[in-house]
Structure 1
């Protein structure tokens, strides 16, 4: 890959020969958690890809072996309006579909993918994961509503599996094998090989006529867009009404019990 861009937290590589771009969340020391700078970079990257006809397919992944992404950086402070009808979500525009990009996106998952990572997984066409990957949603454990995350996952997994993952919080993690069995993951690889497998898929897709590929992507999302859009309109109010105050959340986070069940 040739490095064609990126800044603090996000690295972008584009192979002009294959038409494949790789976006890497590059904060491994923070388990690739997303701060406000990275959130802005992601939105900018997806919008720029709309105008770059040399990029015909994209892979999104995380640096290191411990995590694909662990959602919002806990050190980020997001001031909120004093009304339950207005909520600022710093992750709401980090995905490709939120930025009107209809080129195919494949997620390559290594290590943990949890919470806000589902904004990215939920807007990818499909997910490739290595055997060591795990998936979980910590929101309820810390007194937070899993609204956007549950809505995104409800488009990709059976209802009962999404409900269990959201409600069990940090007590349980979904293994890559189980995620494959329920349809969240389309391909399992050996440890460390998810990115290569995803890039291989992306290269095949990028070799096809772009207009046909993008039309197919758009058709696929039209099949579920109405229900998804309707659900997402209610997410801000559910978060505003159900979340504990920040101090209570931080107390639950620092006092969390270690250990979890892998299934």
Structure 2
């Protein structure tokens, strides 16, 4: 199983780890299903009061959908529908309102934002880098930008989405723009996220979950409307898969860090 779950019943903290380090923790269709099962299961696990989500290894938190897996998902011909295997990989999409802290080391890009966008806050190691490659390869960044627009200023989200692989946001810049709430030394993000989650888990769970729900209700209407438009924008704006593959093969991922 490429999604690993460890629970410390003493602290009340569970750690969910994307466990494909050799593939930069890219998400397969099976992993997407497993994540949904994990999040829904936590709703019934009273011993779990806060959760940390992270990626195995130090090279990447997650680089989004595994391209081979994406090719296996049949798509309807209508431009008004799309079968997105990542649409329900996050906790909020699975009706989980226990607090989630994301711990990021290395790259976090593309579909990783489905998870980061549904975490309460993000802790990152100094070497973390955030970017969105969609436009570089002829794909619309819709779901990702909607998620990130809840956490970053409009201009920062727009720049990241439109610059594609030409630019990556450093952990320090992510902290300055509000995407990241704490920057640690490289390799220290998970420990810091665990500490924060343990503090939250020590408080009365009803008050904590109510606070999480209140925070999300402030943006939920706009977020839901924006996500409803995303499938149509993707189906209308994406290049055919063969052209995407050509661009992926041809383009070098030279970039500058900011």
TM-score (norm: length of structure 2): 0.99
Is 1:132 the counterpart of 2:145? The answer is: no
Name the CA distance, whole Å, in 2 between partners of 1:17 and 1:133: 30
Name the CA distance, whole Å, in 2 between partners of 1:259 and 1:227: 35
Q: Give runs of aligned pairs for residues 2-41 of structure 1, distance below 5 A.
A: 8-41=1-34
Aligned residue in 2 for 1:208 = 203
- 1:165 is aligned, of 137, 160, 165, to 160
Structure 1 runs of 4+ aligned residues shifted over 4 Å read none
Gaps of 5+ in 2: none
Aligned residue in 2 for 1:192 = 187
Is 1:111 the counterpart of 2:145? The answer is: no
Displacement, 1:256?
1.2
Is 1:241 the counterpart of 2:236? The answer is: yes
Is 1:52 the counterpart of 2:45? The answer is: yes
Name the CA distance, whole Å, in 1 between partners of 2:217 and 2:135: 31
Name the CA distance, whole Å, in 1 between partners of 2:76 and 2:230: 16
How many residue pairs get aligned? The number is 256
**SS of the counterpart of 1:185?**
coil
Name the CA distance, whole Å, in 2 between partners of 1:258 and 1:36: 25
Aligned residue in 2 for 1:257 = 252
Name the CA distance, whole Å, in 1 between partners of 2:11 and 2:124: 22
Gaps of 5+ in 1: 1-7
**SS of the counterpart of 2:223?**
helix
Aligned-residue CA RMSD in angstroms?
0.5
Q: Give runs of aligned pairs for residues 63-74 of structure 1, distance below 5 A.
A: 63-74=56-67
Name the CA distance, whole Å, in 2 between partners of 1:24 and 1:256: 31
Aligned residue in 1 for 2:145 = 150
TM-score (norm: length of structure 1): 0.97
Displacement, 1:258?
3.3
